[in-house]
Amino acid sequence: MIFLSVNINGIDMLNTYRMALKDRHCVQPPVPKTLYMDIPGADGSIDLSTANAGRIVFERRTITLNFGCGKPMDKWPSLFSEILQKFHGQEGKIIFDDDPGYYYQGRMTVSDYERARTLGTFTITVDADPYKYELLSGDEDWLWDPFNLDTGVIREYKDVVIDGSKELIIPGTEKWIIPDIVVSADMTVSFEGKEYELKAGENKIYDIVIKEGENVLTFSGNGTVTVRYRGAIL
């Protein structure tokens, strides 16, 4: 039998504790935030779900991790205390071994602890963000191991040399994100027909929103640029 494992805050639950996930369907879809306005005297209603954000937004999602394993009876009290210390009430970064290129994040709660002699079970519930995030950001070193050749995107936006003018194309994902832009010297950036000034150091331009699809940033000046962008999908 092949057991499914999960990595929580850098701890591989199967390798570290010999605790396997009992269920493979741990992550449920987030609920869309919908808003409808009734129009008296008219059929149906007006859908205002995208009126505020310009896109559909989502509630937080629930991740339910059911664990089980066998341990000597006298080891369970101290082991479960360790589990509570490491996970209960803590913020979690969750990576499944069958989806290693992404992580979920959210607040964790440990519950439903049961033990029948040497066999013990418990549940970690994660109140998670609606999106799963790419494991690597554009300013981090790229790794082969978690990369998916079919769906992965290589993001290399660290210390890009600008000598006059240079286009940087960022493939955006479902989650709209305002990136941090770090430049070594004052320069400008153009995005969607508008030009913005960048000061040496870290900049956040709230009109520069990386959306799903191709996003083109054109930098003008001399120096280096780092764009801190991490894609996220449902």
Enter the DSSP assignment of 192: T
Per the model's pLDDT, the better-predicted residue between 24 and 186 turns out to be 186
The residue written with tokens 């080891």 in the block is 75
What's the pTM? Answer: 0.88
The candidate with the shortest Cα–Cα distance to 113, out of 147, 87, 145, is 87
Q: Which residues does residue 91 pair with via DSSP β-bridges, in sequence order?
A: 107
Other CB atoms within a 10 A radius of the CB of residue 226 amount to: 18
**DSSP string of 120-147?**
EEEEEEEEE-SSEEESS-TTS---STT-
Gyration radius of the chain's alpha carbons: 23
- What is the arithmetic mean of pLDDT over 47-68? 92
The predicted-structure confidence for 61-115, as pLDDT tens digits, reads as follows 999 999 988 888 888 889 999 999 999 999 999 999 989 999 999 999 999 999 8
pLDDT at 1 (0 to 100) = 43
Tens digits of per-residue pLDDT, 119-138? 889 999 999 999 999 999 98
Report how far residue 140's alpha carbon sits from residue 230's, in angstroms, rounded to the nearest whole number: 10
Residue tagged 């591989």 (tokens): 12
Which amino acid makes up residue 215?
N
Q: Is the pLDDT confidence value at 139 over 70?
A: yes
Greatest mean pLDDT range, 38-42, 47-51, 180-184: 180-184
Evaluate whether 184 touches 201 at the Cβ level (below 8 Å). no
In the chain, % of residues over pLDDT 70: 94
Phi-psi region of 115 (alpha: psi -120 to 50; beta: other; left: phi over 0): beta
Residue 14's pLDDT is what? 93
